[in-house]
């Protein structure tokens, strides 16, 4: 046994070498961060997608995603098609990339009778019996729940049923204000953590801003969701009722555009042919507008040139005509010189050093 003095010295030495609580906490935090380090030797699993279009995957598992559009532009209809493809294996151009997946759909906006039409449409589109649909699709109508419980309720449902795809139709109902940055960031962070923890694709539906030209999702919630989403899909409805789905933002491959519509009987149909016809019609209309605008501008400039020559007694030196038109048109000298050259022979003619109105044009103004 050590003498008292030596024992005291040993105790003191040991105490000196013991880390403080702050040092211990720092070491533990550093060890945790080291576990998150990615090195050249790190092995990661290949991206697993829930769905694909023409071989391009979207809605990857372990990640959060977004579906946006203007109000009443077809977001729920698009989710019906995606869900039906997950149930059936393929629908129109949308293909399931998972083996008999379970889908959880949380509707926070519609009344029960409207939500029931979702499952009816999915049954018809997927061509599956009620038993299969009820086993693989868990559809919840959460319109009456308070935003204060929706996150914990979502976790509870995911823990209970382990869906591979979670559709939140109306993410705005999860927060008191979509313009509160702190709340928005906290919500998206919690949903991202759920997606990774339960290895599911978390798809959040949010409206775009009301302005026609503003395609951003609403508020700070939309900003944060756009920043964090692995895939952002956008749906737009044409005046003819064609709903087109595109992928304006994606971390990986950009999903090709696809289209759907309701027929006269209220049944969802593929609308690729109609979309292509609309695209061609829009292109032709744009070309016609450009031709009309070009003709209008040409007429205005021609009238201005003729008026300028008449103001100069019917004949004017080319350099002077150029100078006067530069002032009137507010264009540079090179542009005006080219304009005059283009009119020569059909609108204008040169008589020595003077520029006059072409006699044939005078009779056919």
Q: Are residues 254 and 303 in the same domain?
A: no
Greater model confidence, 49 or 300? 49
Confidence label for 275 from pLDDT (cuts 50, 70 and 90): confident
CB 253 within 8 A of CB 78: no
Judge whether 8 lies within some domain.
Answer: no
Q: What is the mean pLDDT of residues 333-358?
A: 87
Please indicate, yes or no, if residue 239 is contained in any of the structural domains.
yes
- pLDDT (0 to 100) of residue 360: 82
Residues 66, 72, 75, 81, Cα dihedral to 10°: 180
What CATH number corresponds to the domain at position 317? 1.10.10
* Same domain? 266 vs 293: no
Q: What's residue 365's pLDDT?
A: 43
Residue 168 lies in a domain: yes
Tokens of 286: 């744009």
- Displacement of CA 304 from its chain's centroid (Å): 47
Q: Residue 95 belongs to a domain with what CATH number?
A: 3.40.50.300
- Can you state the angle between helices 75-88 and 112-126, rounded to 10 degrees? 40
Same domain, 159 and 245: yes
- pLDDT over 50 (residue 328): yes
Which of 243, 270, 297 marks a domain boundary? 270
Number of domains in the chain: 2
Query: Does the pLDDT of residue 364 top 50, yes or no?
Result: no
Q: How many CB atoms lie within 10 A of CB 338?
A: 11
pLDDT at 87 over 60: yes
> In terms of domains, do 77 and 184 share one?
yes
pLDDT band at 68 (very low <50, low <70, confident <90, very high): very high
- Percent of the chain topping pLDDT 70: 94
Whether residue 294 sits in one domain with residue 264: no
Q: Is residue 135 part of a domain?
A: yes
Q: How many CB atoms are located within 10 Å of the residue 168 CB? A: 25
Same domain assignment for residues 220 and 312: no
Per-residue pLDDT tens digits for 9-49: 665 556 556 778 888 888 888 888 888 888 888 787 788 99
Are 257 and 308 members of one domain? no
Q: Which phi and psi (to 5°) does residue 362 adopt?
A: -60, -35
The last residue of a domain, from among 270, 297, 322: 270
Judge if 88 and 140 occupy the same domain: yes
Same domain, 138 and 107: yes
Higher pLDDT, 15 or 268: 268
Cβ–Cβ contacts within 10 Å for residue 124, how many? 13
CA atoms within 13 A on the CB side of 131: 0
Which one has a higher pLDDT value, 360 or 66?
66
How would residue 330 be classed by pLDDT, with cut points 50, 70 and 90? confident
2 lies in a domain? no
**Residue 4, in any domain of the structure:** no
Q: Which domain holds residue 310?
A: 289-363
């Amino acid at each position: 046994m050590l003498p008292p003095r030596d024992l005291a010295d040993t105790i003191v030495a040991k105490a000196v070498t013991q880390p403080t609580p702050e040092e211990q906490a720092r070491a533990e935090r550093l060890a945790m961060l080291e576990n998150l380090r990615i090195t050249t030797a790190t092995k990661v699993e290949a991206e697993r997608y829930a769905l694909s279009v023409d071989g391009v995957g979207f809605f990857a598992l372990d990640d959060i995603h977004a579906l946006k559009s203007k109000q009443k532009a077809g977001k729920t209809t698009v989710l019906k098609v995606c869900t039906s493809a997950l149930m059936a294996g393929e629908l129109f151009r949308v293909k399931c990339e998972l083996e008999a997946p379970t889908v959880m759909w949380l509707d926070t906006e519609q009344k029960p009778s409207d939500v029931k039409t979702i499952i009816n449409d999915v049954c018809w589109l997927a061509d599956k019996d009620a038993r299969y649909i009820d086993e693989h699709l868990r559809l919840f109508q959460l319109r009456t729940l308070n935003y204060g419980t929706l996150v914990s309720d979502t976790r509870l449902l995911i823990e209970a049923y382990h869906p591979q795809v979670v559709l939140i139709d109306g993410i705005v109902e999860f927060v008191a204000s979509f313009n509160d940055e702190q709340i928005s960031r906290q919500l998206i962070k919690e949903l991202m953590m759920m997606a990774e923890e339960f290895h599911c694709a978390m798809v959040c539906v949010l409206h775009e801003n009301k302005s026609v030209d503003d395609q951003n999702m609403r508020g700070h919630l939309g900003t944060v969701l756009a920043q964090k989403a692995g895939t952002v899909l956008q749906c737009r409805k044409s005046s003819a009722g064609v709903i087109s789905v595109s992928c304006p933002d994606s971390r990986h491959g950009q999903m090709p555009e696809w289209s759907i519509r309701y027929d006269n009987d209220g049944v969802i149909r593929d609308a690729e042919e109609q979309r292509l016809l609309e695209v061609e019609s829009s292109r032709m209309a744009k070309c016609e507008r450009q031709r009309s605008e070009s003709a209008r501008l040409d007429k205005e400039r021609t009238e201005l040139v003729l008026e300028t020559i008449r103001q100069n007694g019917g004949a004017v030196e080319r350099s002077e005509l150029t100078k006067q038109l530069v002032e009137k048109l507010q264009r540079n000298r090179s542009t005006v010189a080219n304009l005059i050259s283009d009119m020569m022979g059909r609108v204008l003619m040169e008589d020595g050093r003077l520029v006059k109105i072409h006699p044939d044009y005078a009779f056919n103004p």
